[in-house]
Amino acid sequence: MSAGKYQQVVALAGGVGASRLLRGLVRVIPPESLTVIVNTGDDMVLHGLHVSPDIDTVVYTMAGAADPDRGWGLAEETWNALSAMERYGMDTWFALGDKDLATHVFRTSRLAAGAGLATVTAEIARAWGVVPRILPMTEDRVENRVVVEEGGRELDLHFQEYLVHHGSPDSVLRAYAAGVSSAQALPEAVAAIEAAHAIVFCPSNPVVSIGPILAVPGIGAAVSRSRARKIAVSPIVGGAPVRGPADRLMRSAGIDVSCVGIARYYAGIVDTLVIDERDREQAEDVATHCKCIVANTLISELRASEALSRILCEGVDIRTPQE
């Protein structure tokens, strides 16, 4: 069946939280009907290698190859190259596994040969047997940066330095996506949004994952123009992020760390927000901003992800093959 016969779904995705939803979603809708637009603001050049953590997390997870505990990187990874780098006094705070390194070497060499990030991402996805289209939000350089206060001074860090090297301290003054306002949206991403029946906002960090995707001018505009059903899953459960430093980053952006804060943030952008059962008592508040669905959103288990995906599809009128 050609992709045109299916209702097309676009997902806006960060890394681990998004991937855990997407692997359930592709068990509920035809994988060919899904296009994932991925945040590239966390990308970094390290040891001369172009690392795209969120793209790789999405690809590895959808391929069933991601490390189940960490959520990022590959399962059954070894770290020999990293240990060998220590001998030369190289930076090893960002853990590149031996198998994962192959992806970064491949990406970097293809980019150096003149291929675009979208082409290389498609090649990586194909190599892992991943059927949904995985698209970077842009091929231009966008860099998530976090300004923290340390010893009375402002420190302006790359997001990975903030998260991994500095251990995501509380003292966040602000976060911003450098280069985003002049970034060109990937044309295929805009076309996918224009053709979408539904847009799913994955349970990702609103400040450094979904925010930067929407801040790419062509993408934010296409999402606003789109008549697609728009549904988000709150990454905040019980007043705390399911994982990662979203609480610190949200606070610095003036967003209340609750599912109501998420509803306010997405007000006027999404029509429905899915909040967790544990936040049931906030459903009424959420409903003043958009439609609210209460469900189990803790989806580290595949079956839970699949169950949530069915609820999402119902919420946006996507026919699933079983119906």
Q: Which stretch binds ligand FO1 (CB under 6 A): 9-17, 83-91, 194-202, 273-281?
A: 9-17
3-state secondary structure 150-178: ECCEEEEEEHHHHHHHCCCCCCEEEEEEE
Using CB under 6 A as the binding rule, the residues of this chain from 97 to 116 that contact ligand FO1 are 100
Q: 56, 143, 247, 279: which one contacts ligand FO1 (CB under 6 A)?
A: 56
Q: 94, 141, 221, 302: which one contacts ligand FO1 (CB under 6 A)?
A: 94
Minimum CB separation of residue 168 from ligand FO1 in Å reads 9
Minimum CB separation of residue 51 from ligand FO1 in Å reads 6
Nearer to ligand FO1, 160 or 234 (CB): 160
Q: 6, 72, 265, 266: which one contacts ligand FO1 (CB under 6 A)?
A: 72
Q: 15, 136, 206, 245: which one contacts ligand FO1 (CB under 6 A)?
A: 15
Residue with the CB atom nearest ligand FO1 in the bound state = 15
Minimum CB separation of residue 55 from ligand FO1 in Å reads 8
Rule CB under 6 A: is residue 203 a binding residue for ligand FO1?
no
What number of chain residues touch ligand FO1 (CB under 6 A)? 18
> Dihedral sign, CA of 161, 163, 168, 173?
positive
Distance CA 144, CA 208 (A): 6
Residues 6+ apart with CB under 8 A from 214: 12, 220, 223, 269
Nearer to ligand FO1, 57 or 297 (CB): 57
Distance CA 244, CA 57 (A): 14
Distance CA 99, CA 59 (A): 14
Minimum CB separation of residue 14 from ligand FO1 in Å reads 5
Rule CB under 6 A: is residue 247 a binding residue for ligand FO1?
no
Nearer to ligand FO1, 70 or 289 (CB): 70
Using CB under 6 A as the binding rule, the residues of this chain from 154 to 173 that contact ligand FO1 are 160, 163-164
Minimum CB separation of residue 165 from ligand FO1 in Å reads 9
Nearer to ligand FO1, 54 or 276 (CB): 54
Rule CB under 6 A: is residue 200 a binding residue for ligand FO1?
no
Q: What long-range pairs does 61-69 form, CB within 8 A, spacing at least 24?
A: 61/16, 61/19, 61/20, 61/22, 61/23, 62/19, 62/22, 62/23, 62/26, 62/125, 62/128, 62/130, 62/132, 62/134, 63/128, 63/129, 63/130, 64/23, 65/128, 66/19
Rule CB under 6 A: is residue 212 a binding residue for ligand FO1?
no
Distance CA 295, CA 307 (A): 9
Minimum CB separation of residue 106 from ligand FO1 in Å reads 13
From residue 76, how far is each of 22, 72, 294 by CA, in Å? 22, 12, 36
Give the DSSP per-residue string, 252-269.
HTT--SSHHHHHHHHBTT
Which residues lie near ligand FO1 (CB under 6 A)?
14-16, 42, 51, 53-54, 56-57, 72-73, 94-96, 100, 160, 163-164
